[in-house]
Amino acid sequence: MTDPSSAPDRKPGLDPQASTPDPFDPANLRLSQSFIETAGVKKLLTTVPVRKPGQQDFVRVHPDPAYRENFPIIEVKDEREEYIVTNELVPALIGEFVTKTLFTAINRQGTIFFWPVRLPAPDGKNLDWWRSSREAAELAMGTWIRVRANMNLGAYDIFKADGVIPDPEWPPLGFWELIKIAFRDHLVDRVDHPVIKRLRGRL
Amino acid sequence: MPDVFHEIVVVDFEFTALPGERPGPICLVARELRSGRRFRLWHDQLGSRPPYATGADVLFVAYYASAELGCYRVCGWPMPERILDPFIEFRNLTNGLPTPAGASLLGALTYFGLDAMGAAEKKEMQNAIGGGTWKGRFKPEAILDYCEADVDALVRLLFAMLPRIDLPRALLRGRYMAAAAAMEYHGVPIDVEILARLRDGWASIQDELIAAIDKTYGVFDGRTFRVEAWERWLVAHGIPWRRLESGRLDLSDETFRQMARAYPAIAPMRELRSSLAELRLNDLAVGRDGRNRTILSAFRARSGRNAPSNSKFIFGPSVWLRRLIRPSPGYAVAYVDWKQQEFGIAAALSGDVAMQVAYRSGDPYLAFAKQAHAVPTDAIKATYGPQRELFKQCVLAVQYGMGADSLALRIGQPRIVASDLLRAHRETYPTFWRWSDGALDTALLTSSLHTVFGWQLHVGESPNPRSLRNFVCQGNAAEMLRLAACLATEHGIEVCAPIHDAFLVCARLDKVDATIAAMRAAMAEASSIVLNGFELGTEVSVTRWPDRYMDTRGAVMWERVVNLLPHRRKATA
């Protein structure tokens, strides 16, 4: 099958006996309509939220292991914000952070976000919330799922999409580029960082 | 000056232009630019051929050339082979942008800061010539002088414009003016007897139509449409209705049209309102030979499409009136249209393979539903009609650039259904959407878009993204129609009229099948050239004498009107 948008313009209507093509033959006058190439415009990703999937959001998780990583994270509950702690500060902040896996996820609207999921605590504690969340994230690597907190159960209910939904289109950015976008203002990298000051009751 | 031409003739006719009639040439003035020769011929001197050279090495120049070429047809002269129309090129140069004085010859001269020859003072003569009332008021010499002044002005304009004209593509556009002249020359056969009776009784028919149709609604007071009564009727029937920012109901015909599609109970009211508002039967331009003819106004629309007068053209918005189309004894007319033309164009030009597969399936709407996994792969229209209709409306909504709110209104479903349909379109045809986004970006970055043959849309202040996206499909559809019109008329087919994505052709009963085959071949070739090898299919509806042309959309209204005629004189429906 010919792809009319990319095939070289054909030259119908030319007389094979003629020595030169007719400059006024419409077939010789076509101009390109390949706007994908000519526009040269790319959507810039400037915001990557860090959050759990919305209750009504069907989501997928990037199946490539390069698109998930464990991080020491401080949760500032009042502000509903999460901060990554740099390796140098980890020893000084033991007990202040928790370890979470950041899964790269996307919803049906094409919004990329990081889905933070708690790892079991050092003492082996593994709440059903964390466990069910991790199971959901792993399931979302192959299928569209939705999660909803079930307070009675103390865990997330996981719903799998019934219909056939196309796979998501992931942006052409690497995991670490996405991390830089998501945490550019949320990196605890010095002892006088405002987050540490707040934890220590200082202004 | 284009070197490939041995002669360049700048031509202007003066002619009568009575409603529905072919032009009546009064005189011709022409200048051949290389030799400087001038030709001034009164109508009785026109002869059987033009007074200047013809052929592929002669460039014919005229402003809005279909008028001059209409005179060529009446004179029986062979069509010029190379036509340059500065009107079209001026439209192309300024399409989408404001102009200081319109797109007439005077407007173009003004735009370029050229002497405008005091054309305004000659309005009286112009009207007298067009209306055929010049005799006894203006002498032949004065009319010839007037005509020559136009030619001289056109020469000035031509020199100013030539550096900005893409000549090969301009000649392709000019070629269409010969096709337009042919279509205007033929016109659409009309049942003049019924038309006369309709005209005679139209005033009282309108009252009876209101009485008959409004029985169901109770919203008219005499001929006045009462908005509050309409609102009550909508509430009583549980029908949601779009409102304006002011909070008043949106009573535009477009809203009525969309709502009639979602709620068939509204359709008779829409047809009634449209007929009362827009139908001026006396304006329908029908000549003494029973043909509807009006200037096609080629290249007037931003897309480059024709924009004939709604009231003068039989294919105006009152669909039921099209049943006046009736071939003469021994003849047939055929309506030949491209199947899902805009969908096919989008599929081909965007290179979206899934969309191309859907188009080639023969039923792109059902194919879309299958590709989106909304129906089984073996679904057929008969058993999945409602689902197919939803996906069809989604495709049309994308073509019109509608959002979820408008689509929801159109399909009479909650917004969430519309939103899911639109999302399914984006997910099923991602390449198309990237291409469409690219077209919009190109327009905003370069301040213009163009079709395959260089018809341009310039982006002015406050661009409308919806119309920019829409331009690529609409503009290329216009290119396709023009090229098919050229191929068909040059092949000798009697094309009566172009209608958006279709043509009406006429032929003797014994020739109609061959004519249809030739028309379809021309349309296939045109689509293949415009879409670089992707051929669009066509479908045909034939009306043989003594039948009349049928458009199912207007059937109910036509029957109503015809039923109101009998107690005057019985009509043959």
CATH number of the domain residue B451 falls in: 3.30.70.370
If asked whether residues B37 and B159 sit together in one domain, one would say yes
ipTM of the complex: 0.74
Q: Residues B157-183: what's their mean pLDDT?
A: 97
> Chain B closest CA to A33's CA: distance in Å?
6
Pick A163's closest partner by Cβ from B373, B445, B531: B373
The residue of chain B nearest to residue A3, with distances taken between CA atoms, is: B351
Strands (E) in A28-111, as ranges, are: 59-61, 68-76, 81-85, 98-107
Distances (CA, A) of A197 to A185, A190, B550: 16, 11, 81
Pick B439's closest partner by Cβ from A2, A23, A35: A35
Mean pLDDT of all residues in chain A?
A: 85
Structure token digits, residue A116: 């933070």
Which domain does B445 fall in, by range? 289-317+327-350+430-547
Pick A26's closest partner by Cβ from B172, B437, B450: B172
Pick B438's closest partner by Cβ from A30, A38, A163: A38
Q: What is the percentage of chain B residues whose pLDDT exceeds 70?
A: 97
In a domain, A19, yes or no: no
Pick B168's closest partner by Cβ from A24, A41, A163: A24
Q: Residues A85-110: what's their mean pLDDT?
A: 92
Residue range B320-342, pLDDT digits in tens: 899 999 999 999 999 999 999 99
Instruction: Tell me the pLDDT band of A4, cut-offs 50, 70 and 90.
Output: very low
In a domain, A176, yes or no: yes
Say if residues A85 and A74 touch (Cβ distance below 8 Å): yes
pLDDT at B317 over 50: yes
B331 three-class SS: strand
pLDDT score, position A3? 46
Instruction: Tell me the pLDDT band of B120, cut-offs 50, 70 and 90.
Output: low
Largest CA distance in chain A: 91
In a domain, B139, yes or no: yes
Say if residues B545 and B331 touch (Cβ distance below 8 Å): yes
Q: Residues B184-191: what's their mean pLDDT?
A: 98
* d(C-alpha B180, C-alpha B65), whole Å: 9
pLDDT at B558 over 80: yes
In a domain, A15, yes or no: no
In a domain, B103, yes or no: yes
pLDDT score, position B278? 67
In angstroms, what is the C-alpha Rg of chain B? 25
Amino acid at residue number A154: G
Residue range B43-91, pLDDT digits in tens: 999 999 999 999 999 999 999 999 999 999 999 999 999 999 999 999 9
pLDDT score, position B484? 98
Tell me which chain A residues have a C-beta less than 8 angstroms from the C-beta of B457.
none
Mean pLDDT of all residues in chain B?
A: 92
* d(C-alpha B412, C-alpha B402), whole Å: 14
In a domain, A25, yes or no: no
Q: Residues B255-280: what's their mean pLDDT?
A: 84
Say if residues B194 and B264 touch (Cβ distance below 8 Å): no
Of B161, B186, B211, which closes a domain?
A: B186
Beta carbons of A29 and B350 less than 8 Å apart: no
Count of all residues that appear for chain A in the document:
203
Structure token digits, residue B138: 């203006």
* d(C-alpha B65, C-alpha B67), whole Å: 5
* d(C-alpha B298, C-alpha B279), whole Å: 23
In a domain, A47, yes or no: no
Residue range A94-103, pLDDT digits in tens: 888 999 999 9
In a domain, B138, yes or no: yes
* d(C-alpha B356, C-alpha B348), whole Å: 6
Beta carbons of B532 and A10 less than 8 Å apart: yes
pLDDT at B540 over 80: yes
> Chain A closest CA to B372's CA: distance in Å?
8
Beta carbons of B438 and A1 less than 8 Å apart: no
Structural domains of chain B, count: 2
Residues of A with CB under 8 A from a CB of B: 1-7, 9-10, 12-13, 23-24, 26-31, 33-41, 108, 163-166, 169
* d(C-alpha B151, C-alpha B43), whole Å: 17
* d(C-alpha B193, C-alpha B171), whole Å: 42
In a domain, B253, yes or no: no
* d(C-alpha B324, C-alpha B316), whole Å: 12
Amino acid at residue number B388: R
Of B186, B215, B239, which closes a domain?
A: B186
Handedness of CA B541, B546, B549, B550 (dihedral sign): negative
pLDDT score, position A102? 96
Structure token digits, residue B74: 């009446």
Beta carbons of A31 and B451 less than 8 Å apart: yes
Structure token digits, residue A135: 């199971």
Instruction: Tell me the pLDDT band of A13, cut-offs 50, 70 and 90.
Output: very low
Chain A interface includes B382 (CB < 8 A): no
Structural domains of chain A, count: 1
pLDDT score, position B354? 98
Residue range A26-44, pLDDT digits in tens: 888 888 888 877 666 777 7
Beta carbons of A29 and B453 less than 8 Å apart: yes
Residue A115: phi and psi, rounded to 5, are -105, 105
Beta carbons of B452 and A5 less than 8 Å apart: no
Residue range A160-183, pLDDT digits in tens: 988 788 899 899 899 999 999 999
In a domain, B378, yes or no: no
Tell me which chain B residues have a C-beta less than 8 angstroms from the C-beta of A163.
373-374
Q: What is the DSSP letter of A64?
A: S
Distances (CA, A) of B306 to A98, B176, B177, B253: 69, 11, 11, 21
Structure token digits, residue A88: 């140098």
Amino acid at residue number A118: R
pLDDT score, position B90? 98
Residue with tokens 């979302």: A140
If asked whether residues B153 and B298 sit together in one domain, one would say no
pLDDT score, position A192? 87
In a domain, A150, yes or no: yes
B160 three-class SS: helix
pLDDT score, position A100? 94
Residue with tokens 């043989």: B544
> Chain B closest CA to A12's CA: distance in Å?
8
Q: Which of A16, A67, A49 is nearest to A175 (CA)?
A: A67
Residue range A128-156, pLDDT digits in tens: 999 999 999 999 999 999 999 999 999 99
- Buried-exposed string B267-306: b where 16+ CB fall within 10 A, e elsewhere: bbbbbbbbbeeebebeebbbbeebbbbbbbbbbbebbbbb
* d(C-alpha A119, C-alpha A100), whole Å: 5
Say if residues B158 and B10 touch (Cβ distance below 8 Å): yes
In a domain, B513, yes or no: yes
Q: What is the DSSP letter of B244?
A: -
Residue range B482-515, pLDDT digits in tens: 999 999 999 999 999 999 999 999 999 999 999 9
Q: Which of A124, A164, A119, A122 is nearest to A137 (CA)?
A: A119
Q: Which of B440, B472, B439 is nearest to B342 (CA)?
A: B472
Chain A interface includes B350 (CB < 8 A): yes
Q: Residues A111-123: what's their mean pLDDT?
A: 91
Mutant choice from A10, A30, A33 vs B, greatest count of B C-beta within 10 A = A33
Structure token digits, residue A97: 């952070």
* d(C-alpha B492, C-alpha B509), whole Å: 16
> Chain A closest CA to B452's CA: distance in Å?
5
> How many A×B Cβ pairs under 8 Å?
101
pLDDT at B546 over 80: yes
Amino acid at residue number B101: A
Beta carbons of A33 and B533 less than 8 Å apart: no
Amino acid at residue number B63: Y
pLDDT score, position B118? 57
Beta-carbon contacts of A116 under 8 Å, excluding residues fewer than 6 positions away, are: A50, A51, A52, A73, A82, A100, A101, A102, A103
Q: Are strands B291-292 and B331-338 parallel, antiparallel or unpaired?
A: unpaired
Beta-carbon contacts of B319 under 8 Å, excluding residues fewer than 6 positions away, are: B271, B551, B553, B554, B557
In a domain, B573, yes or no: no
In a domain, B210, yes or no: no
Structure token digits, residue B184: 């205007």
In angstroms, what is the C-alpha Rg of chain A? 26
pLDDT score, position B378? 95
pLDDT score, position A203? 67
Looking at per-residue pLDDT, the higher value among B301 and B406 belongs to: B301
The residue of chain A nearest to residue B436, with distances taken between CA atoms, is: A35
> Chain A closest CA to B24's CA: distance in Å?
32
pLDDT at A48 over 50: yes
Chain A interface includes B236 (CB < 8 A): no
If asked whether residues B176 and B301 sit together in one domain, one would say no
pLDDT score, position A21? 62
pLDDT at B573 over 70: no
pLDDT at B261 over 90: no
Q: Which of A72, A62, A131 is nearest to A96 (CA)?
A: A72
The Cβ-side half-sphere exposure at B515, using a 13 Å CA radius, reads: 24
* d(C-alpha B219, C-alpha B229), whole Å: 5
Of B168, B186, B204, which closes a domain?
A: B186
pLDDT score, position A44? 78
pLDDT at A74 over 90: yes
Residue range B428-470, pLDDT digits in tens: 999 999 999 999 999 988 889 999 999 999 998 888 898 999 9
Structure token digits, residue B110: 């003004």
> Chain A closest CA to B476's CA: distance in Å?
10
B138 three-class SS: coil
In a domain, A167, yes or no: yes
Structure token digits, residue B540: 């045909």
Which domain does A148 fall in, by range? 59-199
Tell me which chain A residues have a C-beta less than 8 angstroms from the C-beta of B483.
26
